[in-house]
Amino acid sequence: MRRIYLDNNATTPVLPEVFEAMRPCFGEHFGNASSIHQNGQEARVAVETAREGVAGLLGCHSSEIVFTSGGTEADNLAVAGLTSAGDHVITSRIEHHAVLHSCRHIEETGCEVTYLPVDNRGLVDLDDLRRALRPNTKLISIMTANNETGVLQPVEEIGKLAAEAGVKFHTDAVQATAKVVINVDRIGCHALSISGHKMNAPQGVGALYVRKGTRLRPLFYGGGHERFLRAGTENVPGIVGLGKAAQLARESLARGDDKRLAALRDRLEQGILSRIDDTGVNGQGAPRTPNTANIHFDHIEGEALVIALDLKGLAVSGGAACSSGATEPSHVLAAMGLRPDRARASIRFSLGKQTTQDDIDFALALVAENVARLREMSPVYRVPTLR
Ligand code: PLP
């Protein structure tokens, strides 16, 4: 059966070039990057080359990159490492749990956190942010792109505001990196998180950009790896994969591949909105990453649609999170003011480098057919002509 993968915000396939770059790290170049002998030095060179690749993508110096085990660790490192008891932190209600739960943790250790609301497009209001500043505000942590909707926050304006207020700014750019051009100086951030598996590198590797001169407390204690900011033997294959993926992403953005994705995403959205009644794009009207479409299909359970589509060969995600056995509407869609039933009727389609126009047309046909079937079975849905 044909399978189409439109869940690239969950994870992406490793590109063949990335896999090839990693392969020697499992064989002839297996060394520990901290060893002084030749095997170690080969691994060190590979790690430092990868660091340059990542720095090139973010527009920073390679010495400002700290490799981590992924986006979650990078977010935890930024939030916990840039704050101390008594500090005030400003974040938003739509952050990934890697940031939200890090914020909950620092609240338990004596920090105060303000969770900014968003409007119905999913955007933070800069006036709200300005008003939330306090004399003891130490950190603003607001994501660049949301994982569920793709909505892009005005991070450059937030960076300016943070600089004027003398506050550190961290941004979770896990879902923005490799999809839109990221430049840490233009954003004006002190820290920025990325994750390998969201950009065609393997799972289990990521990085935190840390602006030169920024004091950061590590999460782990051990050896002096990553300039004492992240103890633990480096994941050389993962880091090499991330470096290669960063180099490829930079080339791809320079070629304008993001425009190809945006055109496919628009084809999908327009196709759904024109063919299927009672649908709408969540985050419509806000700037968004080119690969993400979050759409509500009223009168159905999103989870039922996700399962039905999966059985027919299409992988997508729902707008609900399963916590302790109950299906909770997504905190992101709830913060945007979507009714719980509409949030539960939402589906995230996230395109990737491998997505073709044919995939989109196949997905469109499947979605139209399965939404119609689920609505027919629904006791609450009435066929429009009968209304
Ligand atoms: N931040 C955002 C916005 C994400 O979408 C994710 C993953 O879904 C993470 C952080 C966590 O990244 P990782 O899976 O590498 O830990």
Which ligand 1 atom minimizes the distance to the CA of 206?
15
CA angle in degrees (0–180, nearest 5) for 339-345-349: 120
Average pLDDT rounded to a whole number, residues 186-191: 98
Contact 350, 199 (CB under 8 A): no
Q: State how far the Cα of 209 lies from the Cα of 103, in Å rounded to an integer.
A: 19
Q: Nearest residue CA, atom 12 of ligand 1?
A: 71
Position 37 confidence tier, pLDDT thresholds 50, 70, 90: very high
Position 321 confidence tier, pLDDT thresholds 50, 70, 90: low
3-state DSSP call for residue 319?
coil
CA angle in degrees (0–180, nearest 5) for 274-354-195: 105
Marked catalytic residue, from 25, 111, 189, 322: 322
Position 379 confidence tier, pLDDT thresholds 50, 70, 90: confident
Backbone angles phi, psi at 198, to 5 degrees: -95, 0
Cβ of 174 below 6 Å from ligand 1: yes
Position 224 confidence tier, pLDDT thresholds 50, 70, 90: very high
The answer to whether residue 206 scores a pLDDT higher than 80 is yes
Q: State how far the Cα of 31 lies from the Cα of 45, in Å rounded to an integer.
A: 11
140 CA to middle of ligand 1, Å? Answer: 18
The answer to whether residue 271 scores a pLDDT higher than 90 is yes
Order of strands across the sheet that contains 346-350: 279-281, 292-297, 346-350, 317-318
Give the per-residue pLDDT at 382: 66
Q: State how far the Cα of 237 lies from the Cα of 256, in Å rounded to an integer.
A: 28
Q: State how far the Cα of 225 lies from the Cα of 233, in Å rounded to an integer.
A: 7
pTM of the model: 0.96
The answer to whether residue 384 scores a pLDDT higher than 70 is no
42 CA to middle of ligand 1, Å? Answer: 30
Q: In terms of pLDDT, which residue wins out, 105 or 382? A: 105
The answer to whether residue 52 scores a pLDDT higher than 50 is yes
Residue for token pair 């993962």: 238
Position 160 confidence tier, pLDDT thresholds 50, 70, 90: very high
Q: How crowded is the C-beta side of 48, counted as CA atoms within 13 Å?
A: 10
- As beta bridge partners, residue 346 has 296
The answer to whether residue 335 scores a pLDDT higher than 60 is yes
Give the per-residue pLDDT at 322: 56
Cβ of 74 below 6 Å from ligand 1: no
Q: Nearest residue CA, atom 5 of ligand 1?
A: 147
Q: Nearest residue CA, atom 13 of ligand 1?
A: 71
Give the per-residue pLDDT at 387: 45
Q: State how far the Cα of 65 lies from the Cα of 300, in Å rounded to an integer.
A: 45
3-state DSSP call for residue 140?
strand
Position 383 confidence tier, pLDDT thresholds 50, 70, 90: low
Position 325 confidence tier, pLDDT thresholds 50, 70, 90: low
Position 327 confidence tier, pLDDT thresholds 50, 70, 90: confident
Q: In terms of pLDDT, which residue wins out, 386 or 166? A: 166
Cβ of 68 below 6 Å from ligand 1: no
The answer to whether residue 289 scores a pLDDT higher than 90 is yes
Q: State how far the Cα of 189 lies from the Cα of 154, in Å rounded to an integer.
A: 12
* Mean pLDDT of the residues in the chain: 96
387 CA to middle of ligand 1, Å? Answer: 43
Cα dist from 50 to 70, 77, 102, 218, 256, whole Å? 15, 21, 28, 22, 23
Position 385 confidence tier, pLDDT thresholds 50, 70, 90: low
Residue 322 bears catalytic tag: yes
Average pLDDT rounded to a whole number, residues 312-340: 85
